[in-house]
Structure 1
Amino acid sequence: MMQHDGEMLKLAEDMTAPRLEFYYSGGDGAAFWEALRHRPDVAPDVAEIKAEGERLLASPAAELTYSLFSLFEARGSRLEYERVYFEKRRRLNTFALLSLLEPESEVYKTALLDALWSVCSEFTWCLPAHVDAERPVSETIDLFSAETGFALAEIRLLLGDRLPGLLRIRIAELVDERLFGPFLEKGPFAWEEAEHNWAAVCAGSIGSAALLLLGEAEDRARLARILEKTERCMSFYLKGFGEDGACPEGLGYWNYGFGYFAYYADLLLQRSRGKLDWFRRDKVRRIAGFQQKCFLGGAAVANFSDALPQASIQLGLSCYLARRYAGEVAPPPAALRADYRADHCSRWAPTLRNLIWRDRAASPADWEAGDFYLQDASWLISRFSSGAGTFGFAAKGGHNAEPHNHNDLGQFMLAGGGEFFLSDLGCGEYTRDYFGEGRYAYDCNGSQGHSVPIIDGVLQSPGRNKTAAVLEQEADKDECRLALELSGAYECKELRSFRRTWVWRKSELPTLSLQDDFRFAEAPGSLTERFVSLIKPVNSEPGRLLLKRGDLAVELLYDYRWLRSEITERNYRNHFGEETTWYTLDFHALWPEASYGVGFLFKFVKS
């Protein structure tokens, strides 16, 4: 897709001007928003936005102070500043949407203008965690500064002359000063060659803002330069995916990164009159199908890496992809729709598209059952439905230097009825240490917080050379099988081989068998099998633990003659800074030998 100097300039010179037809049929925004107010399929979205508007009108608008900004440098804490920052973005986005929905409301208009003025008056649009001494703040671009510029540019276009000329000019000035100028003159930025969400969100937002703001003939050379750089960033972003389309960062970052990729690609397609089309790429098509493979029933997802265990979907993005790749990308279940308030700042770009890209057609109750092996990521995901409900199993190989890496080779999870019985803790509270040298001391990131063994007292180590080798993989209508060689994940001197084999049998109430086979140069001093759950197990009899949720349970069966069980209650701070209880189910080998095999059976049962 990358175009070179003269070619991109010619394309830019031939581009159509930014216009409302990019968003509404015929460009009639007033008619679109008036009709939207009365559509039953978007009534929940509108009600959430209105409820948020009422809450914000009754709440004083907090400002970002130096005291808040300096907390990250002083203590490594992010949440205090970010709570105020994200609330300001929520205020801006909410009143912009309400002003489109109810243009007659002077209350909403006043609140929007105040929110715009406040955001335009901020010292920086960046978060403190993304500012450092190596680059002036005025020349720094991070995820949130780029998102802010994109949102302001789009609000400016959609609200048009309903915004005062003073603010329209100021928005254009600030986006040029804080995004376009640094992007063109003060780089390179590390994210320009990032093979993860930063490249898509930062460059995609800047490229989108340029497509919306640079519409005059005298702007075309500047637009061409920005698009050349943006196209290069997008090529690096796509390198972070294998040919299987899997997002190693997890579903949340697929929504984030690929979402901003798609928002940019759509605007580029329209302004270029169809000449620049990222969606034609086979790899992009495969990435578009990743979301539907991640769900394990209901809202439960395979949440490897820094991902949440329960996920919703952006209906607008999902409908857009389903239309574009009809027959390959499934129409999304409306029941999984993201609540407007669920995102910590109610991001503008996905929220707007949840309204303008929504399909009116009836949606399925859930994703169809299926088995998915993502070869490049080494993920196996199985979603199975029977008369007893929907069940899910997921396991992974890969390597321990993935984006948002966890030391988790051989990790797996079990779900039934939309709830987890064996869990992945997912993402913890983001702090300075979370992304620093202390990352793997956090239980959610280190192998101590995953369902993988502790071998002779040794945990898994990080690094690109810490890899899993796939030995066997197959799936049919009755069962799935995956076998991995995992000794490469451990810096354990005596370990020669560690083979982990799962067999997932899809009966009315499914079962999962796990077999671990170890070979050592000499017998280890200790060997502990560990499983992770948010459920406190019941130790009902020797050789049997019960994990129970409602009328469904999982029996964990093991040979108590060779293993001693130990259940420990633990706590970690989740992504939202909340103390969360979890449990380790440890099984200590009583007499580990140089060649040692151990098996477990997990059976779903009605309780």
Structure 2
Amino acid sequence: MNKKNIIIGLTALVATMQPKITVANTLATVIDSADVTKPVAPLVPLDMQRVAEVAAMLPLTPQGFGDTYHNRLAWGKLYSNVKYHKVISTAEALLNKPFPAWNDAAYLMYFTKGTRPEGEKMMGNRLGWLAPLVWAECLENKGRFVPTIQMVLNELIHQKSWSLPAHDKKKQNIDGRNYTVDLGAAGFAHNVAQAVYLLDDKLTPQLRADVLAEMEKHVFKPVLQSVATGNNNSYWLTVTSNWNSVCLAGVTGAALAIIPDREERGKFVTIAERYAKNSVAGFTNEGYCTEGLGYYDYGFSKYILLRENIWQATNKTINLFADPKIKRIASYVPNLEIINNVYPNIADCHVGVKAPAALLWYCSRNLGLGLQKYDSLTFAGGTATLTDDVMRAFPNSASQSKVNSNTSALAFGLRSYFKQAGVLIERPLAGSKANIGAALKGGNNNEIHNHNDVGSFSVVVGDEMLMGDPGGPSFYTAKTFGPERYSYKLLSSYGHPVPLVAGVEQQEGAASEAKVLNATFTDKQDEFVMDISSAYPVPALSKLVRTFTYNRDDAGFLTVKDDFAFKTNQKFEFTLITRAQWKQIAPNQIEFDGKTQKMIATISTKSGFAVKAETIVEDAPAFKRIGIVLPPAEAGAITVTFRPVK
């Protein structure tokens, strides 16, 4: 689920949807594997003794991020920065516009046509009014935005559903039969509660009471019932995907900002303290995120928000960064970089996904990562949300931390080998002529937000990805997470740079797993060999070994070789995936032209081959699939070598 498509509600912040551990030398750090699919904290009744302990740590009154509008010194300091003036103009423009109406038909489009953007956009347009109006009122403090804010809050809390259509199973939320918390409802609640906290007595007592009552109905009561009874309505408590941290951050943040009773707030902090462990369990012990960089940003950013909220609320007593694994998770992004700020589009990542600067700033300063590029960042003028942006605008654990001056604390190596995930990131020697990097993926076909991509690879020349994983869809549909998921070429192995074997694509499931046969690394050359035969349900297949060889000499090159064998004559097709322009410049060579970079693929096989190409367009930027088709045979091999054009 990519941020941009699953919670379109949080003021254009999120929507449906959305790694390397090396040291300064040339060897990658490898951490032993562990099972990351099972929750480490199963659902159990609340520990009331712990609730009492936690409640005693909390302030007497609810508290959100930052200071309420009453602190004119703090808000005046922000107002003196012209970067914040833009939000006042944005809020002024809303005063003369009609508030977006709730639209049943748009919400129900998911159920009638299987499409998600209509309902999510409708809900997002409504919630999108809240942040600029509240920011403007707190900055300016003249009261002129208050009537509109009260109207918006009243409209929002009484809308039929707080949950996104795709997560409203059997339309129970919109029909008012049962309320459940999803990604949308959690973020919605947190932003509404934060607004009430910041504005305090600018809002009428009746509206504040109504907000709390609706919050109880839509969010707090459903979660407490799930914990008490073990029902599956809040199943995200025990999942290991981004849902866990996103929902916990929203629910806990809302509770801390609006619930008057300290013990009640303590219940939600206790719940978060326990079940956030499942989010951490969703990463490999190396810190790798199988959901891909887009969802890593989405999920771990909310884990950070949850951590900061609880850290502040308990006066630095409860620290969700205490687990040493967190530092490895925080190191995922800098270690995932291929070269020149280019990252692989593994899983449902959008094309061109980049490093999340705010996340790296927070982690580097809190965990001493030594990321100078991010340590000195400032976020003045950010007003997209009332949660994340207010947190960064006011003193927090990151802004108050000492910067680690040891720049080698997290130095790049020649490679990042995530052994448990079966992912290898390849880089040239610093200062060499080599201008090529690669991401090589083994793994399995049962990963979160999985694509059937065992054996996939991506090639970067300069600052352009000229070959590789096409990334995920721009928008989700009802089919995306159902039994027809892999009917999309974008998500199936057909749309990835992996073989088509006897005309058969890879199958989903954990049994489709790359078995690493060899991983030999030197400064000059790395060899990464994997058996990927289990991914193909082809009875005649007896051997399929893919060998990656990354060489750092001169301009560098990557070789991908497939050795295969069948019990009977069968077809074999090597696949190239690209968004660059391409042309066959020789019988055995294909040239790929990017915006400024070029690469030549040289194909070697004893049996000859034919080239079959097509353009694939499926709710994502179009890409080309180039099949290198070998004639039927019982056994054979094909080698493709990628070299930059100087």
Superposition TM-score, scaled by structure 1 size: 0.87
Task: Read off the aligned partner of 2:72 and give its amino acid letter.
Answer: A
Mapped partners of 1:11, 1:316: distance in 2: 29
Structure 1 residue aligned with 2:633: 592
1:321·1:329 contact (CA, 8 Å) conserved in 2? no
Structure 2 residue aligned with 1:175: 215
TM-aligned CA distance change 1:368 to 1:536, over 3 Å: farther
- Does the residue aligned with 2:105 lie in a helix, a strand or coil? helix
Deviations 1:232-291 (CA, angstroms, capped at 9, x unpaired): 321222221110111111112111211212211222122223332221101122112112
Query: How many Å apart are 1:503 and its aligned residue?
Result: 1.8
Structure 2 residue aligned with 1:122: 159
Q: Which of the pair has the greater relative contact order for Cα pairs under 8 Å at 6+ separation?
A: 2
TM-aligned CA distance change 1:554 to 1:339, over 3 Å: farther
Task: Read off the aligned partner of 1:372 and give its amino acid letter.
Answer: S
Task: Read off the aligned partner of 1:115 and give its amino acid letter.
Answer: V
Structure 2 residue aligned with 1:352: 390
Structure 2 residue aligned with 1:481: 527
Query: How many Å apart are 1:297 and its aligned residue?
Result: 4.2
2:180 equivalent among 132, 140, 147 = 140
Structure 2 residue aligned with 1:191: 236
- Does the residue aligned with 2:420 lie in a helix, a strand or coil? coil
Higher alpha-carbon deviation: 526-535 or 290-299: 290-299
2:563·2:637 contact (CA, 8 Å) conserved in 1? yes
Identify the structure with the greater helix proportion.
1
Query: How many Å apart are 1:135 and its aligned residue?
Result: 5.0
- Does the residue aligned with 1:488 lie in a helix, a strand or coil? helix
TM-aligned CA distance change 1:405 to 1:12, over 3 Å: same
Higher alpha-carbon deviation: 547-556 or 49-58: 49-58
- Does the residue aligned with 1:558 lie in a helix, a strand or coil? strand
2:194·2:386 contact (CA, 8 Å) conserved in 1? no
TM-aligned CA distance change 1:254 to 1:551, over 3 Å: closer
Structure 1 unaligned runs (5+)? Answer: 575-579
Structure 1 residue aligned with 2:358: 316
* 1:55-454 → structure 2 map (5 Å cutoff): 60-104=98-142, 106=144, 108-133=145-170, 137=176, 138-186=178-226, 187-188=231-232, 189-216=234-261, 219-220=262-263, 222-297=264-339, 300-327=342-369, 331-332=373-374, 346=384, 348-356=386-394, 369-370=412-413, 371-384=415-428, 386=431, 391-428=436-473, 429-454=475-500
2:578 equivalent among 533, 557, 562 = 533
Structure 1 residue aligned with 2:33: none
Task: Read off the aligned partner of 1:86 and give its amino acid letter.
Answer: G
Structure 2 residue aligned with 1:577: none
Query: How many Å apart are 1:294 and its aligned residue?
Result: 2.6
TM-aligned CA distance change 1:339 to 1:245, over 3 Å: farther
Structure 2 unaligned runs (5+)? Answer: 1-39
TM-aligned CA distance change 1:321 to 1:333, over 3 Å: closer
TM-aligned CA distance change 1:583 to 1:50, over 3 Å: farther
- Does the residue aligned with 2:198 lie in a helix, a strand or coil? helix
- Does the residue aligned with 1:179 lie in a helix, a strand or coil? helix
Structure 1 residue aligned with 2:644: 604
TM-aligned CA distance change 1:96 to 1:460, over 3 Å: same
* 1:565-580 → structure 2 map (5 Å cutoff): 565-574=611-620, 580=621
Task: Read off the aligned partner of 2:184 and give its amino acid letter.
Answer: F
Deviations 1:91-136 (CA, angstroms, capped at 9, x unpaired): 2223223333443472x54544443232122111111111123855
Mapped partners of 2:86, 2:437: distance in 1: 31
Higher alpha-carbon deviation: 156-165 or 395-404: 156-165
Mapped partners of 1:592, 1:338: distance in 2: 63
Deviations 1:205-255 (CA, angstroms, capped at 9, x unpaired): 112222222354xx41x3333333333321222221110111111112111
Higher alpha-carbon deviation: 149-158 or 126-135: 126-135
2:597 equivalent among 552, 564, 568 = 552
- Does the residue aligned with 2:565 lie in a helix, a strand or coil? strand
Mapped partners of 1:503, 1:338: distance in 2: 46
Structure 2 residue aligned with 1:8: 51
Mapped partners of 1:182, 1:76: distance in 2: 27
- Does the residue aligned with 1:23 lie in a helix, a strand or coil? coil
TM-aligned CA distance change 1:309 to 1:387, over 3 Å: farther
Mapped partners of 1:128, 1:169: distance in 2: 27
Higher alpha-carbon deviation: 61-70 or 355-364: 355-364
- Does the residue aligned with 1:293 lie in a helix, a strand or coil? helix
Deviations 1:467-524 (CA, angstroms, capped at 9, x unpaired): 1112222444444332211111111111122111112223563311111111323332
1:141·1:179 contact (CA, 8 Å) conserved in 2? yes
- Does the residue aligned with 1:285 lie in a helix, a strand or coil? helix
2:63·2:258 contact (CA, 8 Å) conserved in 1? no
- Does the residue aligned with 2:450 lie in a helix, a strand or coil? coil
Query: How many Å apart are 1:541 and its aligned residue?
Result: 1.8
Query: How many Å apart are 1:180 and its aligned residue?
Result: 0.8
- Does the residue aligned with 1:332 lie in a helix, a strand or coil? helix
Mapped partners of 2:85, 2:578: distance in 1: 36
Task: Read off the aligned partner of 1:582 and give its amino acid letter.
Answer: F
